[in-house]
Amino acid sequence: MNPFSSGTRLRDMIRAVRACKTAAEERAVIRKECAAIRAAISENDQDYRHRNLAKLMFIHMLGYPTHFGQMECLKLIAAAGFPEKRIGYLGLMLLLDERQEVLMLVTNSLKQDLNHSNQYIVGLALCALGNICSAEMARDLAPEVERLLQFRDPNIRKKAALCSIRIIKKVPDLAENFLNAAASLLKEKHHGVLITGVQLCTDLCRVSEEALEYFRKKCTESMVKLLKEVVNSPYMPEYDIAGIADPFLHIRLLRFLRVLGQGDADASDLMNDILAQVATKTESNKNAGNAILYECVETIMSIEDNSGLRVLAINILGRFLSNRDNNIRYVALNMLMKAITVDGQAVQRHRVTILECVKDNDASIRKRALELVYLLVNDTNVMPLVKELIEYLEVSDQDFKGELTAKICSIVEKFSPEKIWYIDQMLKVLSEAGNFVKAEVWHALIVVISNASDLHGYTVRSLYRAFQTSSEQESLVQVAVWCIGEYGEMLVNNVGMLNIEDPITVTESDAVDIIEIAIKRHSSDLTTQAMCLIALLKLSCRFPSCSQRIQEIIVQLKGSLLLELQQRSIEFSSIIEKHQNIRSTLVERMPVLDEATYSGKRAGSLPATGPTSNAASLNLPNGVAKPSAAPLIDLLDLSSDDVPAPSSSGGDFLQDLLGVDLSQAASLSGTSQAPKSGTDVLLDLLSIGSPPAQSSTSTADILSPGQDNTSVSTLQRISSPSSLSAQGSSPAQAAPMMDLLDGFSSSLPVAGNGLTYPSIVAFESNSLRINFDFSKTPGNPQATLIQAKFSNSSPNVYTDFIFQAAVPKFLQLHLDPASGNTLPASGNGSITQSLRVTNNQHGKKPLVMRIRIAYKVNGKDTLEEGQINNFPRDL
Amino acid sequence: MIKAVLVINGMGKPRLSKFYEFQEDDHAMQPPEKQQELIRSVYGVLCSRPENVSNFIQSNPLFGLDSRLVYRTFASLYFVFIFDSSENELAMLDLMQAFVETLDKCFSNVCELDLVFNFSKVHAILDEIILGGQVLETSSAEIVKAVDEISRLEKASNAMTLVPKSIATWPSR
């Protein structure tokens, strides 16, 4: 027979499909079959309708569209014979996908069949209804189903019970109609009916408060009695699974009891005894027994408090954990996770077993156990737990290491009792699985290290040792490189030895070796390379004897294809070569970062740098002209910036200069304010995201239009790198320029060496105003005394008022204490503070100052920043 | 509630797929394309499972919140139940056992081909075990009795027709 004719038997079609070697062949066969079936449908073929629908179901299972067969289902359902109806209902359940109108048409047939004299046809209809019932159908057919709950045949009763569940889920309002019938099902002896009846009652309780109250009152006792009977029932081979009588009924009953007992102390009291009996008497050597125990535990955990039972339940879970069956361990861990909120103390007792599960062969069990351990950690057990976990880290699977590492780090951070322990554990993790440690974790470690000033030496030595064995772990290398850069001299001189340490001998060149190894070994990682460069720059100052060698290493990166590295390399070697005088300032140690600020930032509660710098600056004592910490956070934040800025405390200063300079450069061509090309060079040299060093003369180039040639050439000469130091020492060279520029700038009054200067408004925001008054000490032209006066025009009082200022290197600033820290509202008073500025470049450069004002308005921190460029000339 | 029952062979071909309900807000079953996609992803997860691990898989990404998946292999077939937290995981394993035992009794030593050629009988068996996602019957003797009754009825009403219509008249192999 031609397999593609419409007369194919189902078997032949299946064979033809199975014989297909490719998906395309299969599609072709299906296409032909579908075409034939469609033709048969349009001819309204009756003889083969049954067979065609069977074929369609097979085609549907293979994943082809079969919507065109839906109406055929209805026709078959409407037919008289049992086989037709059976296939029709089966098709209805499987093929139906877009519904409402088809469902409406089928409701009538269902109604008829639910009243059919043949109970098997009634069974088919119930089954279909239970699977596809919609809300409208539920309303239409609920009376039929309700009646069938009392049908003589138990098979129909149980189907009707499950069908009712679907109905009340679709239309919860119908729940009360089913209450009495459902309650009478609970008195059944037939176990199938009982299972479904209990399930129906459970679901009734879920959808209706009223039902819950009803069953709680009427059935709690009888359900307890029923469970007792089931538990003590004699052996029933028919329902027995692995020697346990009817585990499903057990489970359904336990579940029903849970719903009844939850939130009701009286009901819970009634079931205590039987729960204890189930928990102690059930055989636990088979899956079925464990399923019952598991259900029993969940019920005990959910009903009202009975601590004795809970301990019993958690002990069952503890026993599960040492079961050989993976499934049992898996569910036990899941349940313990829930139990920990109910009775953490009881769960703690099984800590050792849970910890064993972290080492399980089964990945999903390991994962759960680890999560559970994480929840179990507290201040008292953190040390032994972490010790165990780190030991396990050494032997664990590669796939698991990432997760394990993350959890260990998080535990260590959260619960560390002391810094040295934290540092020790983190170093262990870094040496074992450094490649899995996330960037923010080791960034946090660096913050902690920098804060623990008494441990700097210890840490850098530990890192040095760890590096010897684990130089392949990238983040370990990064932390080590950072610490050696910062605390290199402590490594070499064994500074700050702790009692527990063995002394080591490290020479200066050993320390440089480490960096050199790191730079070679991790050549693919930009961050490591950049950190190494900075560490080298720092070491070149700390170890003058190695300076030459360091420069050679740095120079090697001149040819790097990565612009950042290349640029850094050129800049750093130029610093080492030519700018000895500023080098030590540039490579000062990083100032300590506020831990709370950093962790706050990590937690993501604070966006970027603005508010963070606010908090950071508040930690600085008022009136100290010390670089503020704000930009440093950015500098350290390697994740946001691939290359850390090449300086320690100098960075902030440079940042200030950068700010000064950019604005100056913009205004220079117009107003020709005093030249700052010298600092400009310095800036470019160390540029933080500004054009490469080669373009250091660009400021001058920008200026050229509109300026006459002489001035340009002068500027250019001065701004060339080599003249930087010359400029500082030879006023002769600078003098003509000043003269030149004087000609351009007429806007500001030029005061000679006279003793009076105009007051200025140094800063003005919405509500805050700062006035500066100037005076000079006769005989000391470099020094200026500034009287700052702050006033507040807003209606709110400013409290905790702090004024800070920073100046470029050629200035020295001293702030006297302010007259107060509360600024009255509406200009009703002011704070004064005096500043003394010494200008080392007096006559050549004007004063410039960055300021920051922090205060609280109604307890809310506010921060304002500004820059003062409008100082009178010649200060 | 049980959300789906799947039987997938070692090559990823579905041999039985029955979806009960997925979205509570939508009355519809999953459309066939979506069903196929789910079957494929379940198969993808299953065949990458190593041996000697638990039979449970957290299946949230595939089937939405509060769904668990239990599977077991019998010969070359994966039997998969997907259900929510109102069912006991361990009991689901037992239910699966009951299902397979019943298949074995009905087909005397069941194999994959039995399921392929008699899929409507397999559905009949499943409908006697699970109805609308709820457990209907767990005793395989009861189930076999009900299925036999259906077969008998089909045979009786088909005695006179030429086109074979009943599952009982299809040879089992």
**Cross-chain Cβ contact A120/B150 below 8 Å:** yes
Other C-beta atoms within 10 Å of B88: how many? 24
> A423-427, A491-495, A716-720: lowest mean pLDDT where?
A716-720
Q: Which residues of A touch B173 (CB under 8 A)?
A: none
Rounded to whole angstroms, what are the CA distances from B152 to A222, A399, A530, B166, B168? 40, 56, 82, 9, 8
How far apart CA A26 and CA A18 sit, in angstroms, is: 8
DSSP readout, chain B? -EEEEEEEETTS-EEEEEE----SS--SPPPHHHHHHHHHHHHHHHHTPPSSS-SEEE-HHHH-SS-EEEEEEETTEEEEEEE-TTS-HHHHHHHHHHHHHHHHHHHTS--HHHHHHTHHHHHHHHHHHEETTEE----HHHHHHHHHHHHHHHHHHHTT-SS--SGGGS---
In this predicted structure, what is the pLDDT of residue A296?
Answer: 93
**Cross-chain Cβ contact B90/A327 below 8 Å:** yes
- Tens digits of per-residue pLDDT, A552-572? 888 888 888 888 888 888 888
Specify the DSSP class assigned to residue A842: T
Is B140 in CB contact (< 8 Å) with chain A?
no
In this predicted structure, what is the pLDDT of residue A708?
Answer: 43
Is B20 in CB contact (< 8 Å) with chain A?
yes
C-beta of residue A638 within 8 angstroms of C-beta of residue A644: yes
pLDDT band, very low/low/confident/very high, at A204 (cuts 50, 70, 90):
very high
Is B31 in CB contact (< 8 Å) with chain A?
yes
In this predicted structure, what is the pLDDT of residue A656?
Answer: 40
In this predicted structure, what is the pLDDT of residue B55?
Answer: 87
Q: A26-49 as b/e, with b when 16 or more CB fall inside 10 Å? A: beebbebbbebbeebbeeeeeebb
- Tens digits of per-residue pLDDT, B44-100? 888 888 877 888 887 777 777 788 899 999 888 999 999 988 889 899 998 999 899
Which one is predicted more confidently, B126 or A418?
B126
Among the listed residues A566, A545, A562, A541, the one whose alpha carbon sits nearest the alpha carbon of residue A554: A566
**Cross-chain Cβ contact B53/A361 below 8 Å:** yes
In this predicted structure, what is the pLDDT of residue A769?
Answer: 84
A49: nearest CA in chain B? Answer: B165
- Tens digits of per-residue pLDDT, B12-39? 889 999 888 754 444 445 567 778 888 8
pLDDT band, very low/low/confident/very high, at A360 (cuts 50, 70, 90):
confident
**Cross-chain Cβ contact B54/A365 below 8 Å:** yes
A87, A131, A239 ranked by CB distance to B120: nearest? A87
Report the mean per-residue pLDDT for chain B: 82
pLDDT band, very low/low/confident/very high, at A9 (cuts 50, 70, 90):
confident
Which one is predicted more confidently, A129 or A101?
A129
Rounded to whole angstroms, what are the CA distances from A470 to A477, A511, A862? 8, 16, 46
Helix or strand holding residue A112 (H, E): helix A100-114
Local structure of A86: helix, strand or coil: helix
**Cross-chain Cβ contact B132/A65 below 8 Å:** no
Q: For A154-173, what is the mean pLDDT?
A: 92
C-beta of residue B36 within 8 angstroms of C-beta of residue A60: no
Please tell me the number of Cα atoms within 13 Å of B150 on its side-chain side: 28
In this predicted structure, what is the pLDDT of residue A147?
Answer: 92
In this predicted structure, what is the pLDDT of residue A796?
Answer: 83
- Tens digits of per-residue pLDDT, A820-869? 888 888 878 888 888 888 888 877 778 888 888 888 888 788 888 888 88
Q: Which residues of B touch A291 (CB under 8 A)?
A: 88, 90-91, 93-94
- Tens digits of per-residue pLDDT, A803-814? 888 888 888 888
Specify the DSSP class assigned to residue A823: B
**Cross-chain Cβ contact A294/B88 below 8 Å:** yes
B149: nearest CA in chain A? Answer: A120
Which one is predicted more confidently, A100 or A436?
A436
Is B40 in CB contact (< 8 Å) with chain A?
no
- Tens digits of per-residue pLDDT, A587-597? 777 777 777 77
Cα A502 vs. chain centroid, distance in angstroms? 39
- Chain B residues 61-80 with CB within 8 Å of chain A: none
Among the listed residues A486, A545, A494, A550, the one whose alpha carbon sits nearest the alpha carbon of residue A519: A550
Rounded to whole angstroms, what are the CA distances from A361 to A34, A286, A343, A459, A730? 49, 21, 28, 36, 77
pLDDT band, very low/low/confident/very high, at A122 (cuts 50, 70, 90):
very high
Q: For A599-613, what is the mean pLDDT?
A: 48
How does strand B56-58 pair with strand B68-74? antiparallel
Is B166 in CB contact (< 8 Å) with chain A?
yes
And the tokens for B145?
A: 């009795």
In this predicted structure, what is the pLDDT of residue A4?
Answer: 38
In this predicted structure, what is the pLDDT of residue A629?
Answer: 40
> A454-468, A590-604, B138-152: lowest mean pLDDT where?
A590-604
Is B111 in CB contact (< 8 Å) with chain A?
no
How does strand A760-764 pair with strand B14-19? unpaired
Closest CA–CA distance from residue B115 to any residue of chain A (Å) = 11
pLDDT band, very low/low/confident/very high, at A548 (cuts 50, 70, 90):
confident
Closest CA–CA distance from residue B43 to any residue of chain A (Å) = 14
A87, A248, A365 ranked by CB distance to B138: nearest? A248
Among the listed residues A366, A459, A371, the one whose alpha carbon sits nearest the alpha carbon of residue A419: A459
pLDDT band, very low/low/confident/very high, at A740 (cuts 50, 70, 90):
very low
How far apart CA A642 and CA A526 sit, in angstroms, is: 7
Cβ neighbors of A609 (< 8 A, separation 6 or more) are: A630, A631, A633, A634
And the tokens for A50?
A: 């049954």
How far apart CA A62 and CA A94 sit, in angstroms, is: 12
Closest CA–CA distance from residue A318 to any residue of chain B (Å) = 17
HEC sequence for A543-569: CHHHHHHHHHHHHHHHHCCCHHHHHHH
Local structure of A595: helix, strand or coil: helix
Residue A225 has pLDDT above 70, yes or no: yes
Residue A190 has pLDDT above 90, yes or no: no
pLDDT band, very low/low/confident/very high, at B6 (cuts 50, 70, 90):
very high
- Tens digits of per-residue pLDDT, A55-92? 999 998 888 888 888 888 888 898 888 888 999 999 88
Closest CA–CA distance from residue B138 to any residue of chain A (Å) = 7
pLDDT band, very low/low/confident/very high, at A294 (cuts 50, 70, 90):
very high
Which one is predicted more confidently, A543 or A252?
A252
C-beta of residue B151 within 8 angstroms of C-beta of residue B168: yes
Residue A161 has pLDDT above 90, yes or no: yes
Identity of the residue numbered A129? L
CB pairs under 8 A between A and B: 181
**Cross-chain Cβ contact B139/A195 below 8 Å:** no
How far apart CA A774 and CA A755 sit, in angstroms, is: 9
Rounded to whole angstroms, what are the CA distances from A223 to A58, A126, A220, A691, A718? 44, 27, 5, 82, 98
How far apart CA B70 and CA B53 sit, in angstroms, is: 12
In this predicted structure, what is the pLDDT of residue A235?
Answer: 57
Which one is predicted more confidently, A779 or A323?
A323
**Cross-chain Cβ contact B31/A82 below 8 Å:** no
Does ipTM exceed 0.85? yes
Q: What domains can you pick out in chain A, each with its CATH number?
A: 418-586 (1.25.10), 590-719 (no CATH), 732-875 (2.60.40.1230)
Residue A649 has pLDDT above 70, yes or no: no
Q: For A753-765, what is the mean pLDDT?
A: 73
In this predicted structure, what is the pLDDT of residue A165?
Answer: 93
How far apart CA A215 and CA A208 sit, in angstroms, is: 11
Cβ neighbors of A666 (< 8 A, separation 6 or more) are: none
Q: For A351-368, what is the mean pLDDT?
A: 86
**Cross-chain Cβ contact A364/B57 below 8 Å:** yes
B90, B95, B139 ranked by CB distance to A294: nearest? B90
How far apart CA A296 and CA A261 sit, in angstroms, is: 13
A255: nearest CA in chain B? Answer: B86
pLDDT band, very low/low/confident/very high, at A611 (cuts 50, 70, 90):
very low
Closest CA–CA distance from residue A51 to any residue of chain B (Å) = 7
Report the mean per-residue pLDDT for chain A: 77
Among the listed residues B8, B10, B6, B33, the one whose alpha carbon sits nearest the alpha carbon of residue B20: B6
Among the listed residues A283, A280, A255, the one whose alpha carbon sits nearest the alpha carbon of residue A199: A255
In this predicted structure, what is the pLDDT of residue A30?
Answer: 92
In this predicted structure, what is the pLDDT of residue A729?
Answer: 40
DSSP readout, A263-316? T-HHHHHHHHHHHHHHHHHS--SSHHHHHHHHHHHHHHHHSS--HHHHHHHHHH
And the tokens for A347?
A: 């769960």
How far apart CA B142 and CA A141 sit, in angstroms, is: 27
C-beta of residue A260 within 8 angstroms of C-beta of residue B150: no
In this predicted structure, what is the pLDDT of residue A610?
Answer: 36
- Tens digits of per-residue pLDDT, A230-266? 888 765 655 555 556 678 888 999 999 999 998 888 8
Q: Give CA torsion, residues A397, A398, A402, A408, to 10 deg.
A: 40
Phi then psi for A826, rounded to 5 degrees?
50, 35
Is B101 in CB contact (< 8 Å) with chain A?
no
**Cross-chain Cβ contact B88/A295 below 8 Å:** yes
A51, A90, A239 ranked by CB distance to B123: nearest? A90
In this predicted structure, what is the pLDDT of residue A238?
Answer: 59
Q: Which residues of B touch A335 (CB under 8 A)?
A: none
Is B157 in CB contact (< 8 Å) with chain A?
yes
